[in-house]
């Protein structure tokens, strides 16, 4: 029997997920929009997300082959792109067996490919380093890389790259990267892929045969909200509840290290979530939570299992009241800004002990 005494959970809104995908895909109607579901679908649950989107997407993308095998075992039959490509020679046989598309980005992978006993017939993507300086062949290497492929492999080949600054509309680096890949695509007459979520939204000229949507699928914006050209609905709402109420006198402190001290008679609510659940330990005093539709500030250090907030100015606060840490009514970007991080980190770090509730 599945029993849950603690009211801490993440609500995953699958209808919002589908809406976001369709809105993103509509920005690039001539492209195939791949859904990136690496890192357990950015913390949302890869299997459930894949099942929800299977009828809409041409393919999924994950970071490495282990993530893809989990999806196959769960019955997901769509093509799956492996963004980091084969990490051992044995990955080629698994990719052949399960219809995984492989990104090749170094000479070791090409060497493994050349030594296969049987031809690899699944789609290959060649990653070109256009300025990210992380993975990929240099533009000058591409001619030799393609020459190493069979005629059949070249027919379905996709040249791809990744933006380093697509979130910044005024940064000229993105145009440079677009130009480099476009010239190669024209030279070799092959398909291409360049745009991530920020590219799809900010740079229409980057739309190619395949676009790769990640963070935007989940309703978390990859760009400044004033530049957001579409409406994205948060898919994850992280909730908990009040498990304690305590009155403090002036000069009383709360939490480890006594880093916060009451300047007035204060009512403190203790909430059942902490850094072991993925709530950021470095969240500063003043970070908002939402209780009964009203914001209340975090006070004191974040503990492993609990946080404390000042609810002195709120009416009718009681044990069991529902708390939203981020989601539909308190955007994760607000918390990320307070913490000095990005929305990606917060949603992907929700721990396994936080149950997920899926709503269709």
Active site residues: 38, 256
Say how far apart CA 257 and CA 301 lie, in whole Å. 8
DSSP string, 193-259: E---HHHHHH-GGG--SEEEE-GGGGT--SS-GGG--S-----EEEEEEEEEEEEE-TT-EESGGG-
- Residues with Cβ within 8 Å of 272's Cβ and at least 6 positions away in sequence, in order, are 6, 7, 8, 240, 241, 243, 305, 306
CA angle 222, 292, 332 (to 5 degrees): 10
Neighbours of 313 (CB within 10 A): 12
- 351: which 2 tokens? 């721990």
Q: What is the DSSP string of 288-339?
A: EEEETTEEEEB-S---SS-EEEE-TT-SS--TT-EEEEESSSS-HHHHHHHH
CA distance linking residue 279 with residue 244, whole number of Å = 18
Cα separation, 139 vs 157, whole angstroms: 16
Q: Give the CA dihedral 316, 317, 321, 322, nearest 10 degrees.
A: 100
Helix, strand or coil for residue 70?
A: helix
C-alpha 53/C-alpha 18 separation (Å) is 7
> Reduced to 3 states, what is the DSSP secondary structure of residue 282?
coil
């Amino acid at each position: 029997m599945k029993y849950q005494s603690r009211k801490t959970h993440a609500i995953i809104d699958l209808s919002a997920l589908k809406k976001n995908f369709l809105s993103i895909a509509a920005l690039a109607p001539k492209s195939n929009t791949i859904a990136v579901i690496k890192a357990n679908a950015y913390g949302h649950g890869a299997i459930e997300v894949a099942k929800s989107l299977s009828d809409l997407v041409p393919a999924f993308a994950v970071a490495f082959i282990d993530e893809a095998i989990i999806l196959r075992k769960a019955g997901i039959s769509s093509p799956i792109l492996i963004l980091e490509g084969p990490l051992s020679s044995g990955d080629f046989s698994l990719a052949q067996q399960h219809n995984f598309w492989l990104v090749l980005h170094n000479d070791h992978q090409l060497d493994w490919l050349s030594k296969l006993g049987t031809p690899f017939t699944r789609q290959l993507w060649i990653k070109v380093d256009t300025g990210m300086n992380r993975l990929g062949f240099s533009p000058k290497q591409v001619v030799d890389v393609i020459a190493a492929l069979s005629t059949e492999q070249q027919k379905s080949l996709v040249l791809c790259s990744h933006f380093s600054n697509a979130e910044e509309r005024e940064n000229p680096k993105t145009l440079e990267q677009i130009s480099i890949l476009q010239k190669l695509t024209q030279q070799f007459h092959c398909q291409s892929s360049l745009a991530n979520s920020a590219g799809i939204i900010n740079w229409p000229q980057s739309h190619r045969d395949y676009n790769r949507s990640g963070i935007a699928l989940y309703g978390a914006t990859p760009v400044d909200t004033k530049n957001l050209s579409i409406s994205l609905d948060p898919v994850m709402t992280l909730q908990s509840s009040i498990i304690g109420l305590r009155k403090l006198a002036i000069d009383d402190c709360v939490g480890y290290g006594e880093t916060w001290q009451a300047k007035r008679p204060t009512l403190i609510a203790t909430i059942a979530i902490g850094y072991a659940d993925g709530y950021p330990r470095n969240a500063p005093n003043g970070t908002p939570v939402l209780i009964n539709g009203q914001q209340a500030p975090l006070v004191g250090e974040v503990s492993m299992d609990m946080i404390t907030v000042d609810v002195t100015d709120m009416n009718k606060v009681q044990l069991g009241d529902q708390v939203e840490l981020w989601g539909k009514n308190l955007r994760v970007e607000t918390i990320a800004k307070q913490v000095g991080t990005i929305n990606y980190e917060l949603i992907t770090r929700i721990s396994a002990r936080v149950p997920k509730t899926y709503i269709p």
